[in-house]
Structure 1
């Protein structure tokens, strides 16, 4: 084989993929000295007869000829295309909720208006007559944005689509929890995982790297609390930029859902609401009144909601095994939970597949011990997250060994409503009735009563046994991490303790008895 003859690029130019300054000709194609294909150049060799004695050079083709159709966008055009992708996904999420979950069709109009405010709609934003797959997503989902440079409200992200859907449900007063949307997204039900697959190919080919990577959500991290933070950021942004104030969440039906999903006695429902009334807290955005620049966990209405459910449960149906006796027939302690039965019904199920963090830290032995299904998913993860994909700049290896499309993740089905109801019946049928015992002189002070020896947990490490499992189930239902839920419950308990101390001081001053909760 004859040695390759190298030529120099024009002055000041190099290979588009590496710093190489020389190239060679092979099989009708041009490659840099490092093997990258060079496009847009025409060769003129000094030895060829038609060179007429001119020195060797490389001439650029005309700009129109070498310009590629699928060139990646940049700047404001790239941001606009990314917004189109988010808008398309957002509309698919709304249609899923209306079609699969039976929410009111007006939800689409509400979410559309929130979206237009989020991206600051301008006049003349398009004709709005698309079919849902192009020009703004169709159905009037159109907008116009001159520039994002210097904006006070940053470009929205993928998690914001779920946050917008949730805020739309709040405006519609639909009984949908943040935890519901979080679980549906994580389990592959509502369109979210593999968001890039919902985007038309011609759009994907023109997305810049940062936007393409943002839409790779197949292995998104779901630690818990991400959607809550997105919702709060959106709420504060709407108030700051547009003066929009959201109504309180529909607390009564949402409390019912928590009581049902945790298989708790119905008496928890009114007591949880009473806890918040005592502290003058509302289920509004945010719970402490005017919007703060920095918010606490309990400023999120649903975090306050689930924390009040846990406090009510710990107070009325303690999990610590300490004997406490009811004083009269109206005492909640007359009914005692059998927490052993509850824990059996909610025993932890093993995870079907490892998450992305486990993939990243797997050792050789763990990989060798994988079965076929897990190995395929590992290779899918590697292809999705570790390989640089550029459909327009294929290398020779890509042409010879093309990668197959990654199959969509299987949808994890919801637990049937009948199964939830049967679980509630089994737990409640195991509850025991305790006869009340009034205070007597021979009883002494050692008899436990409602609220006595109430224990708070400041950190996850303090949890154990049934208490830990109860917090885990509640965190799963709320879409929170276990640590966030523990901190929220502890914060609410500290507020109650402060209220209790104030009540005791007030009673000592002889100001009368308030609407108290004994031992809370």
Structure 2
């Protein structure tokens, strides 16, 4: 009889551990029937007894979830490159940019990669492993140190630093600059904020297989952590331009001034006389409208080419159409200042234009990323729905497998509540600008002309003394255009209309009001110095031709401080 060893029997103090099976019932060696141990024999395995052998499972190789070192950095560069290509694709096929833009941006990116080869070239791993210095597990390698280092917020960045997400927008802009396209940084910034150009949560464009292999540091680098400002984008473009100039001796051309200037003047609904005045101011102040080749600049604001252009537009506008109540009287009707711009009409037209660009009761496109917890209490129900729709489309990853219970809790609304699609959004914007221009130009009135006093009876003094004529000319105290020019040192010194004009001009390029004021003040100082040099030259008999050409814009002897609106 075959016995099986188990635990003690326990009946009547029996300590027997050996059991046998009889008719499907277990008994101990001493004949005690075991309760709860009845079994039915399997006829297919009848009479089979023996030792059970268990087969060990084959050890499966653990697959690394994320890549590190040069392999991980190479994957990050490939994901970044995919986002950059997608941005160029949108600009070319959806925004109507020329196809050469993709080639130019590709060349700029190729130069950028030359400084990063040591970080992502996997062939260098073997050379590093054969090195004399051994890296222990408690030490961090150079690549790991780069991964753990968060992007620096300082303005000075090395060429070997990791590319930031906003640098992709900077590369797209530099590509348009090389092609001499009339595109401002403000345009690129608005495309990105309105999600017309992939930027916010751009990592969703990367395939899921690549995202799952990226470390958290690289995942964060491909996502927007803080809202991008136009000022920071200007600084990013400036740093990229300086890097290409320093490392690869690339000189970027100046702005396409004729088209850019006309575009800004038109968007500000200003008379065309401002265009010619800005061109004269450019010659006087010697503005190049391009990135400076040296690091040391007198004013940081004037380092931005678009800030230079907008500063001259503001100065020319203040000279011809001052904000103060005191107006200058032009000599003839052919001067640029021979017409008066009603700033109240301009202010009302600008507010109407901004109101039409925003749908009534809706959250404006591009403002979703700036919404914080304090804004929630002031949002209407429709605006809250718009924000939640934007959040769903931007942050919820629909490529990943959804939870089986997710259909029971839908987050999308049944009706379509997104902004109504327009076939050509740019067409509506152009029509609104045309309407604003017609409203402003309709309020322009001719200015009163006052000829100089010495012009009367001067024909009868041909044989007279020229010194007497000069003294009589100096006796003319009639205020001329530019007489009431006011320099605003602080924002509190500006009237409401002037502040509105400054803010509108700054928003065209994504600049802050503070930066534009600094650029304007610096330009005014340069213009004042030019006036002093010109008067000194005239005093010594060296009359300046440019000064003569500019007198039809500004005839005042001093920068006025008159009362304002």
TM-score (norm. length: structure 1):
0.72
2:327–2:481: 8 Å Cα contact kept in structure 1? no
Residue 460 (structure 1) aligns with: 491
1:301 maps to what in 2? Answer: 305
Which one of 317, 331, 342 corresponds to residue 346 of structure 2?
342
**Contact 1:359–1:378 (Cα < 8 Å) also in 2:** no
In the other structure, the counterpart of 2:255 is 249
CA contact (8 A) 1:72 1:207 kept: yes
Matched, 1:67 2:63: yes
Tell me, in whole angstroms, the C-alpha distance in 2 between the residues paired with 1:266 and 1:335. 12
> Highest CA radius of gyration, 1 or 2?
2
Q: What is the rounded CA distance, in whole Å, between the counterparts of 1:293 and 1:154 in structure 2?
A: 24
Which residue in 1 is equivalent to 2:92?
A: 98
Q: Which residue of 2 aligns with 1:80?
A: 74
Single out whichever of 472-481 and 293-302 deviates more from structure 2.
Answer: 293-302
Match of 2:480 among 441, 446, 449: 449
Q: 2:511 maps to what in 1?
A: 480
CA contact 2:389–2:418 (8 Å) conserved in 1: no
Q: Is the 8 A contact 1:148 1:155 kept in 2?
A: no
Render the CA deviation track for 1:148-180: whole Å, top value 9, x for unaligned.
988743111111111111111111111111111
Q: Distance in 2 between matches of 1:481 and 1:404?
A: 41
Q: Post-superposition shift, 1:188?
A: 1.7
Identify the residue that residue 213 of structure 2 maps to in structure 1. Answer: 206
The structure in which a higher percent of residues are helix is 2
Residue 284 (structure 1) aligned to one of 286, 290, 297: 290
- CA distance in structure 1 between the partners assigned to 2:429 and 2:375 by the alignment: 35
Distance 2:411 2:76 in 1: 22
Q: Alignment partner for residue 184 of structure 1, among 167, 179, 191?
A: 191
Query: How far apart, CA to CA, are the structure 2 residues paired with 1:409 and 1:84?
Result: 33
Secondary structure in structure 2 of the residue aligned to 1:515:
helix
Alignment of 1:32-181 (within 5 A): 62=59, 64=61, 66-68=62-64, 71-120=65-114, 152-181=159-188
Query: Closer, same or farther in 2 for the Cα pair 1:384/1:420, shift >3 Å?
Result: closer
Cross-structure match for 2:234: 228
Match of 1:505 in 2: 536
Q: Please, which moves more after superposition, 419-428 or 101-110?
A: 419-428
Q: For residues 297 and 386 of structure 2, what CA distance do their matches in structure 1 show?
A: 46
Rate the CA distance shift 1:294–1:239 in 2: closer, same or farther, 3 A: farther
For residue 322 of structure 1, the aligned residue among 326, 337, 343 is: 326
Write out aligned runs for 1:345-360 (5 A): 345-347=349-351, 348-349=354-355, 352=363, 358-360=371-373
Answering whether residue 522 of structure 2 is matched by residue 491 of structure 1, we say yes
The range that moved more, 114-123 or 303-312, is 114-123
Going from structure 1 to structure 2, the CA distance change for 1:508 and 1:117 (only over 3 Å counts) comes to: same
**How many Å separate the matches in 1 of 2:205 and 2:410?**
17
The unaligned stretches of length 5 or more in structure 1 are 1-49, 53-59, 127-145
CA contact (8 A) 1:320 1:467 kept: no
Cα shift at 1:315: 0.9
Q: Distance in 2 between matches of 1:51 and 1:296?
A: 81
Tell me how far apart the structure 1 counterparts of residues 372 and 389 of structure 2 sit (CA, whole Å).
Answer: 10
How far 1:251 moved relative to its partner? 0.9
CA RMSD of aligned residues (A): 4.0
- Correspondence for 1:193: 200
Aligned 8 A contact 2:201 2:222 in 1: yes
Q: Which residue of 2 aligns with 1:437?
A: 450
Match of 2:435 among 405, 411, 422: 422
1:91–1:321 Cα change, 3 Å: farther
1:469 equivalent to 2:500? Answer: yes
Count of residue pairs the alignment pairs up: 432
Residues 284 and 446 of structure 1: is their aligned pair in 2 closer, same or farther, counting only changes over 3 Å?
A: same
**What's the counterpart of residue 142 of structure 1?**
none
Q: 1:405 to 1:51 in 2, by over 3 A?
A: farther
CA apart distance, 1:338? 1.7
5+ long unaligned stretches in structure 2: 1-51, 122-141, 147-157, 455-471, 560-565
Per-residue Cα deviation, 1:470-494 (whole angstroms, up to 9, x for no partner): 1121111111122221221122112
